[in-house]
Chains A and B, each alone.
Chain A
């Protein structure tokens, strides 16, 4: 019972944050600049947490997450802008399309390991980007006009759902199976875990939420272009997960929030931003390769639950 109590405390805190931000926006205290910052934070949290499931929990080194972001962004934009469907359904369609893309990419590539998997996912992400570049229906390189529909409410609740779903998944026999795959694939297989199934499942769930983030992302701009979904975008997401600490859900959330705020402040100096980014990345890897949080969670720091492992924000 204690576990679920801690969990609900966190949900309550999140809802308070939501209400305060929403109040500031609707009362006019936050202008576009700030509301955009909070929406971007929510989107990046979704991306970080969805990739955390794939890399941090299941140990599958995917570095092409922007590909699934692109699928969600384009597909949901087609549903709203070109077909006139309601935004929530369009978001869901984008996420489903991204999950299907995740299956198509995951089934053949997840038998690869380590570096090879990394480079294959990077390749697939690039193929997805080039496909959008070549489809005239979505505007090719010039990009696609998208209605501005994303609000703080949408962004916040999608982020909350993402965190709850992935945390619940992680703290179950299914999540344990994924962690076992991360720790030792051969041993996991010998203990009766269908390793292929869990790798593909984690990948598909990760892609689904990346697709949701894509829908929020595209409807937060007036135009989307394939060039927004290149290597750099994938690396951005990867950096949240790695800097936060591989295997730490709260770590990836914290890193996503911090880095989003930092890069907003540095947006007028893009080169400086990237230089700082890359230096931080190198220094953290050299001196603290486990990331800021290691595999620990915020909950561990406050000694709420018992000593733990894996990713248990609500344990």
Chain B
């Protein structure tokens, strides 16, 4: 039952990617920006969770919610301060700014607390169950259930609430949405808030699962989550979840086959294959330029 074990590990990792990828995909869907700083919001979430649990003695859920709130605020600040002016700038300027914001968050964090890693405290009892020969830890179950609950809430917000309707309208046609009386600025800010909150949650979950966090931890998962978003079809919410899961499972399988040093390459190989053969992603529709 080795494969079942790997599948479970892969899904646990994949759900972390999925949570980060959701923020990428929502932001890209609404303002067509690859928010490189998103991985760093994830890192900040992990640190907030760490301080909440280890220093202030909060439990898992209060820490999770605190991290989400702080990250939501951070996301809105990033958007208002850096990205808002760039709405009509070139894509290159926007991408460079996003890289700048990412570096700024990383090195400001290092400046204040150093680059050394931190060990995450145990908040979830380290129990595990046996199921069809596979070992399922309490943490895996926790990760998965938190991720699923958050995704259901997100789905509800996007499809059943007024703000969700506004988000979809703005991502479809910003100008038309504005003419219909939608407050585009607020809608974009709320999108950043929700996406960043999900990244914050992913940070806390990552810390608990992998137990080690550091100020540069957001770079690789951030880029991989973007790969997941592209894989699922950027701008498509269920696509981000599916892409994250696929990526998590593939990486776990590559590691299990004894190629753990190649694990990071797997994500990029997938990225390039998908960009070349199906750039619109698994769930995406093809669009063409109007001449």
Interface residues of A (CB under 8 A from B): 55, 61, 63, 108-109, 111-112, 114-116, 118-120, 122-124, 126-127, 130-131, 133-134, 186, 231, 235, 238-239, 242, 246, 271-272, 274-275, 277-279, 281-282, 285-286, 289
Contact = CB atoms under 8 A, between A and B. Distances in A.
Contact of B82 (A126, A246, A275, A282): A282
Interface string B94-130: 1111011111101110110000000000000000000
Given A114-B91, A274-B103, A285-B89, A126 B268 contact: yes
Contacts of B276: 108-109, 111-112
A292 to B, nearest CB: 14
Nearest to B115: A271
B262 A124 contact: no
A119 B264 CA distance: 15
B279 A278 contact: no
B46 interface: no
In the A-B complex, list the 3 residue pairs whose CB atoms are closest, starting with the nearest.
A281-B100, A123-B268, A278-B103
A118 B34 CA distance: 10
B92 A282 contact: no
B90 interface: yes
The SS class assigned to the B binding surface is helix
Interface residues of B, number: 44
Contacts of B108: 275
Nearest to B108: A275
Nearest to B265: A130
A271 B111 contact: yes
Contacts of B223: 119, 122, 126, 231
19 contacts: A63-B95, A108-B276, A109-B276, A118-B34, A119-B226, A119-B271, A123-B267, A124-B272, A126-B265, A127-B268, A238-B96, A242-B96, A275-B104, A275-B111, A278-B107, A281-B97, A285-B89, A285-B100, A286-B86
Most buried by A among B95, B102, B226: B95
A120 B272 contact: yes
A188 B236 CA distance: 33
Contacts of A285: 86, 89, 93-94, 96-97, 100
A261 to B, nearest CB: 20
Contacts of B271: 119-120, 123
Residue from B86, B110, B275 having most chain A Cβ neighbours under 10 A? B275
B160 interface: no
